Amino acid sequence: MTGPLVVLGDALLDRDLDGRADRLSPDAPVPVVSGLSEVDRPGGAGLAALLAARDGGEVVLVTALGADPAGRRVADLLAAAGVRVVAGRLPGRTPTKERVRVAGQSLLRIDREETAPAPPAVIAAMIEAVRSAGAVLVSDYGRGLTADPGLRAAVAAAARAVPVVWDPHPRGSDPVPGVRLVTPNLAEALRFTGRSADGGRDGGGGTVAAAARAGLELTERWRVGGVAVTLGSGGALLAGGPDDVPLVVPAPAVGPVGDPCGAGDRFAATAAARLATGALPSEAVTAAVAAASAYVAAGGPAGLSARRPPPAGPAASPRSAAEVVGQVRAAGGTVVATGGCFDLLHAGHVATLEAARRLGDCLVVCLNSDASVGRLKGPGRPLVPEQDRVRVLEALEVVDAVTVFGEDTPHAVLDALRPDVWVKGGDYAGPALPEAELLARWGGQVVVVPYLAGRSTTGLVRTAQVTEMTTAGRRDG
């Protein structure tokens, strides 16, 4: 990156009032909060800039601030963090959000902002800062800055030369065409497209399918490189072109969930920084999911100044795939399936299975039979017989059921199970998978998950053969 990371957007002042509550008010059934301590931090685009600066490198915040104590406080906090602020005048007061918190939980939020804010005054230095960027993060909080024609033209010009990430807001402006990555959360993506989490106007399939449909529609509508729909504890889904299979990056399991405030800013700032170093969108999204998860696990904003329990595995006595699917469906859950030979189970297999299980409420493995493996892999395969492969998979905590199929493709078993999500390892990324058309019949979604490079059964076999030959040669010698 030859220039700074420029964060463009609406800055706020966030203030946490932390205290204790050990009694109720005598005049209303509300807790009495006492012993308050105040902690201020930049909010909105200011928080995104602060987080980016903590990662190292030059960061410039292009924003508008009011000539009031809150505006001066935001500027001082950012300057102390090493962020250069280029600010126009914001008519009226700088928006302030105050959270009253007890024992780490928010009881109340008070927003102080203009009810009908006037447009911010954009100065030439703001436009020039965007033009000199090595990468741009637009952090839109719906207060009018991203609607300014001069700034939009500058961002559009930047998008032709450097990576631009746009974190949108339902009250904000549409991203300019040519943006590398847009990062709405699921609720925002559904709102932008008029869809619902259960499939809305075009069928079911659960959260992942809804995110995929919304992401694809927004990619085409906005004419951007990709849309990463963030799914909270579910990670993120990256939708690209109409011929690409969506990439799902599950969030790592974390302990007691901390304060999620700012997780979206952490995600977007990380994605922008990684793209600026030449990373692919898939790599940037993977890094952003990890960073946002670590941010929340560390306490969110509190982390600036315990692992979640793994998903439930199968019962002690293995259940059939039909039983598992029936129980999950009856509870309104999401059925996830994946498939393969799983001959000599290795770390790459385990990574795929763990990622797949995080996408729903159960994971069914569709396993190629011995005869099927032999036709697909050739003489000498499988190395591990079918029943042993079933037993090993069923022993994994993330696998809820295993079903064996004898055909060369899993189409028949998929048609019987009708999963909401069909998962493949990331080495299948690119053109649509043959299963995609099948799952579309019932509103299901095909996705890929990140692939653990350098792991394969073929590689293990080759290594074992070389080792055996070397050992035999030493014996003969």
| Count of CB atoms situated within 10 Å of the CB of 237 | 29
Report the phi/psi class of residue 177: left, alpha or beta, with left for phi > 0 and alpha for psi in -120 to 50. beta
| CB neighbour burial string for 190-228, b if at least 16 within 10 angstroms, e if fewer | bebbebeeebeeeeebbbbbbbbbbbbbbbeebebbbbb
> Quick one: which of 324, 403, 386, 322 has its CA closest to 360?
324
Half-sphere exposure of 150 (CA within 13 A, CB side): 12
Which tokens go with 360?
Answer: 């729903």
CA–CA distance, 382 with 400 (Å, rounded to integer): 23
In Å, how far are 7, 94, 137, 343 from 261, measured between CA atoms? 18, 19, 18, 44
Query: Considering 174, 259, 265, 370, which one is annotated as catalytic?
Result: 265
Residues in contact with 271: Cβ distance below 8 Å, sequence separation at least 6, in sequence order: 165, 181, 183, 228, 284, 285, 287, 288
Q: Is 265 a catalytic residue?
A: yes
**First-to-last C-alpha distance (Å) of the chain:** 56
Q: Is 112 exposed, middle or buried (0-12, 13-18, 19+ CB in 10 A)?
A: middle
Q: Where are the alpha helices (DSSP H) in 362-418?
A: 370-377, 386-395, 411-417
Which two structure tokens, joined as six digits, stand for 58? 């030059």
CB of 205 within 8 A of CB of 248? no
How far is it, in rounded angstroms, from Cα 417 to Cα 34? 56
- The answer to whether 331 and 424 are in contact (CB under 8 A) is no
Decide if 273 contacts 136 (C-beta within 8 A): no
From residue 188, how far is each of 133, 195, 211, 465 by CA, in Å? 27, 10, 10, 53
Q: What are the residue numbers of the active site?
A: 265
